[in-house]
Amino acid sequence: MSDATAASPIPTAHPRGKSSLFEQDALTRRRNAAETRFRLYGLTAIVVSLVVLAIMLFTIFRDGTSAFRQASLSFPITLDAAILDPNGNRAPEDLAKVTTIGYGNLIGQQFANFLAAEGIAVEGITDRDISGMVSRDAPGRLRDMVLANPALIGQTIDFTAYATGRIDGYLKGRVTMETAQLDSNVSVEQLQLADLLVERGILSVAFNSGFLTNPDASDQRPESSGLGVAIIGSLYMMVLVLIFTLPVGVAASIYLEEFAPKNRLTDLIEVNISNLAAVPSIVFGILGLAIFINFAGLPQSSSLVGALVISLMTLPTIIIATRAAIRAVPPSIRDAALGVGASKMQTVFHHVLPLAMPGILTGTILGLATALGETAPLLLIGMVAFVTNYPAGPLEGGVLDPATALPVQVYSWASRSDPAFIERSSGAIIVLLGFLVIMNVAAILLRRRFERRW
C-alpha cells in the first residue's frame, strides 16, 4: 500500500491554476447535469400524476355532462276513449285492463298522424320507424297519467316523451349517420326525421331532472334511467353509518386514549384496529354476506346491511382520526379539571371531548366521504340488483327495502352494453363527485373555523 501511494503522485482532479469558480470542469458539469436531471425526474413525476388526474376528470366530465340533458319529443295526443276505455264507464278496474301495449300503439299512431298533419316526412320511412323514435318508457307514463286522472280521456293533451337513446345520442353527437347504417336499433331515415323535427322545435334537448329522480331502467331504455333509488339508498346508508360509527368510534377512542391500562388486551385492540384499516374492502363484503345476510337473516340488497358493512369498514378510520383529535387536547386542560375536583369521567366528557369535537367531526366527515365511494362490499351483499321501486320512507322500514347506491349504480351502468349507459355512468360519477366535494369542503371549513393552536 505504502509503496503504491509513494509511487503514484496524488491524483489531481483539478489541475492547479486552471481551477476557477466561474469555469466548471468536466466533473462538476456532469454532477450538475445529474442534479438537474434528478430534479427533472421529480418534477416529471408530479406533472405526470397531475396530468393523469386531469385527463381522468376531463373524460368523465366530457362523457358525463350530457347525461343531465335529454332529448324529448313534444306533440299533442288525443286520448281516444274507444281505445282507452272500451266499456265507456271510466271505471278504474276497466281502465287498468288496457295495457301499456295499447297505450304504446296509441302513442305511435298519434305521433305518426301528427307528423303527417304537419307535413313532416322523410322518404322511405316506415310508421314503425316513426313510432320507434318515442321511448318505450312513454306508454307506461301515459298510462299512469290516465289512471291517476281518468277525466283526461277523450281530451287532447300536450304530451312530452323522451326520445329513444339513439336519437338522443344523435343530437349529442354520439350517434352519426355512419354508425346508424351499422346499427339495427336506429335507421338513417329516423335520424333525417330527427333533423327535421329539431328544426320544427318538436324534438329538443333540455335539462333532464329525471336523471336525478327516476329509478333505474332496463337495458332497452337508457333514456329514462335515473339515480333516484341510488341517491336515496346512499343517503340512507350514510345516515345509518353516521349513527353506527360516531358513538361507537368516539367511545372506543375515549377508552383507548384516556382509560385503557397498558396491557395485553389494549395492545390487541390497537393491533386489530390498525390491521382492520388495511383489510381489503371486499373482505368486509364477504363478512357482511356471511354474518348479516346468511346468519342474521337481514334482507339482501337493503341499505341497512350495506350500512352495517360500511360501518365496520369505516370504524377504524374514524377511531384513528378521533384518537388524534383527543390526543391533541393538551394535558393541562385535564390537569386543571382534575385539580378542581372533577372525576376522570367528568374531565373527559365535560372538557376533553367538547374541545376535540371539531377534529372528531372533521375526521368523521372524511371517513363518510370515503364510505360514500365504497363499491366492492356492496356488490357482494346484493346492492347491484336492478331496483326500480323507491325504498319506503325511513319510518316505514325503508332501510330494509332493496336499494342501490351511487357508486354501485356507476358500476352496473358501466357493465351494460348500450353506449348510452356509459354517458349515464359518467353522469352518475359527476353526481357522486359533487357529493364528495361538498363533504370535503365541509370538513375543511369546519377545520378552519374551529382550528385551535394551544
Partner 1 sequence: MSVFMLLALVAVFSVAGYILCRQRALKGAAATGQKLHSLPNYYGWYGFVMASVPALLVLAVWLIAQPLVIERQLSGFFPPEMIEDDAARTLLFDDVRRVAAGLDVAVAQGALTEDQAANIRTEFGSIRDRLATVGVALGAEVTPPVLQAAQDYREMSHIGALGRSILTVLLSLGGLALAIRVTKPAFRARNRVEQVVLALLILSSTIAILTTVGIVLSMLSESLRFFTMYPAADFFFNLTWSPNFRGNSELGLLPLLWGTLYISFVSMLVAVPIGLFAAIYLAEYASPRFRAIVKPLIEVIAGIPTVVFGLFALVTVGPFLRDYFAEPLGLGNSGSSVMTAGIVIGILNIPFISSLADDIINAVPQSMRDGSLGLGATKSETVRKVVLPAALPGIMGAVLMAASRAIGETMIVTMGAGAAAKLDLNPFEAMTTITVKIVSQLTGDTEFNSPETLVAFALGMSLFVITLGLNILALMIVRKYREQYE
Q: Could you tell me which stretch among 15-23, 144-152, 225-233, 265-273 binds partner 1 (CB under 8 A)?
A: 265-273
Interacting span for partner 1 (CB under 8 A) from 230-238, 289-297, 352-360, 445-453: 289-297
Stretch that binds partner 1, among 148-156, 179-187, 233-241, 431-439 (CB under 8 A): 431-439
To partner 1, the closest distance from the beta carbon of 121 in angstroms equals 38
Cβ 7 to partner 1 shortest distance, Å: 28
Stretch that binds partner 1, among 3-11, 18-26, 212-220, 287-295 (CB under 8 A): 287-295
By CB under 8 A, residue 422 contacts partner 1: yes
Instruction: Answer yes or no whether residue 235 interacts with partner 1 by CB under 8 A.
Output: no
Nearer to partner 1, 290 or 336 (CB): 290
**CA 430 to the chain's CA centroid:** 7
The closest of 277, 216, 246 to 405, measured between CA atoms, is 216
* CA gap 291, 271 in Å, rounded: 23
Q: Is 389 in the site for partner 1 (CB under 8 A)?
A: no
Residue type (1 letter), 257: E
The answer to whether the CB of 368 falls within 8 A of the CB of 242 is yes
Cα-Cα end-to-end distance for the chain: 63
- Is 371 within 8 Å of 393 (Cβ atoms)? no
Q: Which of 153, 237, 310, 380 binds partner 1 (CB under 8 A)?
A: 380
Helix (H/G/I), strand (E/B), else coil: 160: strand
Q: In angstroms, give the least distance from the CB of 200 to partner 1.
A: 35
Per-residue contact string for residues 299-328; x = within reach of partner 1 by CB under 8 A: -------------x--xx--x---------
Residue with cell 359533487: 434
- Residue 442 interacts with partner 1 (CB under 8 A): yes or no: no
- Asked if 407 is part of the footprint of partner 1 (rule: CB under 8 A), the reply reads yes
Sequence-distant (≥ 6) Cβ neighbours of residue 414 within 8 angstroms:
421, 422, 425
Instruction: State the Cα–Cα distance between residues 247 and 384, nearest whole angstrom.
Output: 29
Residue from 13, 27, 43, 328 that binds partner 1 (CB under 8 A)?
Answer: 43
**What is the x/- site pattern for partner 1, positions 14-33, by CB under 8 A?**
-----------------xx-
On whether the CB atoms of residues 147 and 212 are closer than 8 A, the answer is: no
Using an 8 Å Cβ cutoff, are 232 and 405 in contact?
Answer: no
Window 360-379: contact mask with partner 1 (x via CB under 8 A): ---------xx-xxxxx--x
Closest C-alpha to 106, from 154, 55, 162, 57? 154
Q: Which is nearer to partner 1, 70 or 314 (CB)?
A: 314
Residues 323-352 close enough to bind partner 1 by CB under 8 A: 343-345
**Cα–Cα dist 257/357, whole Å:** 15
Nearer to partner 1, 63 or 85 (CB): 63
Residue type, 294: N
What part of residues 52-111 is at the interface with partner 1 (CB under 8 A)?
Answer: 52-53, 55-56, 59-60, 63
Q: Which of 275, 332, 388, 389 binds partner 1 (CB under 8 A)?
A: 275
Of 286, 298, 400, 446, the residue at the interface with partner 1 (CB under 8 A) is 286
Of 111, 266, 89, 256, the closest CA to residue 190 belongs to 111
Cβ-contact 429, 414 below 8 angstroms: no
As a whole number of angstroms, the distance between CA 263 and CA 355 comes to: 28
Within residues 244-263, the interface with partner 1 by CB under 8 A covers 247-249, 251-252, 254-256, 259-260
Question: Do residues 323 and 253 make contact, with C-beta atoms less than 8 angstroms apart?
Answer: yes
Contacts 24+ apart (CB under 8 A), 354-357: 355/329, 355/452, 356/322, 356/325, 356/326, 356/328, 356/329, 357/325
Q: Kindly indicate which of the ranges 109-117, 188-196, 280-288, 356-364 contains the residues binding partner 1, using the contact rule CB under 8 A.
A: 280-288
Among the listed residues 91, 116, 243, 268, the single contact to partner 1 using CB under 8 A = 268
Q: How far is the CB of 418 from partner 1 (least distance, A)?
A: 14
Nearer to partner 1, 191 or 319 (CB): 319
C-alpha cell at 169: 345520442
Residues 75/159, Cβ–Cβ less than 8 Å: yes
Stretch that binds partner 1, among 115-123, 177-185, 330-338, 423-431 (CB under 8 A): 423-431
The residue (of 73 and 366) whose beta carbon lies closer to partner 1 is 366
The partner residues of 134 in beta bridges, in order of sequence, read 163
Least distance in Å: CB of 225 to partner 1?
16
